[in-house]
Amino acid sequence: MTSRLQYALGVHQYQEHHEMESAFAVVGLGYVGLPVALALAKEFEPVIGFDLSRRRIEELRAATDVTSEIAERDLRGTTVQFSDDPDALGQASFFIVTVPTPITAERRPDLAPLESACTLIGQRLKPGSVVVFESTVYPGLTRGVCGPLLEKASGLKCGVEFKLGYSPERINPGDEEHRLSAITKVVAGQDQETLERIAAVYERIIAAGVHRAPSIEIAEAAKVIENTQRDLNIALMNELAIIFDRLDLTTRDVLAAAGTKWNFLRFTPGLVGGHCIGVDPYYLTARAEAVGYYPEIILAGRRINDGMGGFIARRLVKMLIAAE
């Protein structure tokens, strides 16, 4: 099937489904959810932007975004209905979940925000609804964890009375070039009809287009390896920096020389933190261990990157002593 024909069918199926959509809801209004909510509101109505934080909702109603992802003028001009009242979710039939997926102190997946979101949505879920998750998870979590939680809270049958979808976020905070609409969106659904329903919605807000993944699990895996790959590449550069420091070589000069080859990957050493790169690999490693495989390379990369703060601190102390 050609992409043009797929698009045409998707639009037709969306038009059919849109007649049944009572409202759209974005659950979680951080640096991921807020841009999604505003983009949806330019194409659909009503759109409910929900967050548990009353302070966050009050700030957004006052046209203030502390994440600096959305300008004041855009917040003042949006039709998004910002709310911290869970009952506002009862209007919706198309849910997008963008809550954080952090790790615990033991570096294991912390599913509490996701579980809370499923309970809130489930208690207000209507037959015929679709729930799309954008939060980074390990392969199998949407279907194996979120589906049962939604079933339990709603009393509805997953895959029959409501459907699941997954479309991983690819927001790069502070990046003015790679904005939401400019990044191809991976979409997946519980079945073909749900896939097209989800794809048709995202095609309205993503100028770069969508990629239809064959399954929810493939889309989940694709997301988690994006940041894992970057984490490992940075870990290699960090390990090289440690080696070159002991050899009294300037890492920057070594990389500049190596970078003259056409197929040398241009990564640089540095600290790895934030919400994604330093967290997401642990979701994949936890799932790998659950099926009996210990992921040595991924965890080794994490250890190297976690130790870079100490290396930099020791290096600075040596430089200060040498400067005296």
Catalytic annotation present for 146? no
Q: Do 152 and 237 fall into the same domain?
A: no
Q: Write out pLDDT tens, residues 131-167.
A: 999 999 999 999 999 999 999 999 999 999 999 999 9
**β-strand pairing of 129-133 with 94-97:** parallel
Q: Do 23 and 158 fall into the same domain?
A: yes
Q: Do 145 and 270 fall into the same domain?
A: no
Range with the lowest mean pLDDT among 9-23, 154-168, 232-246? 9-23
Of 188, 214, 240, which one is at a domain's C-terminal end?
A: 214
Residue that wins the pLDDT comparison between 2 and 256: 256
Q: Do 191 and 46 fall into the same domain?
A: yes
| Confidence band, pLDDT 50/70/90 cuts, at residue 19 | low
So what's the pLDDT on residue 313? 86
Q: Do 210 and 231 fall into the same domain?
A: no
Q: Do 137 and 180 fall into the same domain?
A: yes
Q: What are 115's two structure tokens?
A: 């579980």
So what's the pLDDT on residue 177? 80
Q: Write out pLDDT tens, residues 174-201.
A: 777 888 999 999 999 999 999 999 999 9
The pLDDT of residue 268 is above 60: yes
| Mean pLDDT score of the chain | 91
Number of domains in the chain: 2
Q: What percent of the chain has pLDDT over 70?
A: 93
| Confidence band, pLDDT 50/70/90 cuts, at residue 4 | very low
Domain that holds residue 13: 3-214
Of 214, 235, 260, which one is at a domain's C-terminal end?
A: 214
Taking phi over 0 as left and psi of -120 to 50 as alpha, with beta for the rest, 318 belongs to alpha
We report the CATH number of the domain holding residue 16 as 3.40.50.720
Q: Do 208 and 294 fall into the same domain?
A: no
Q: Do 69 and 128 fall into the same domain?
A: yes
- Residues 213 and 222: their CA atoms lie apart, in Å, by 9
Q: In 3D, which of 164, 161, 121, 157 has the Cα closest to residue 142?
A: 164
Of 163, 181, 214, which one is at a domain's C-terminal end?
A: 214
Q: Which of 118, 146, 158, 276 is catalytic?
A: 276
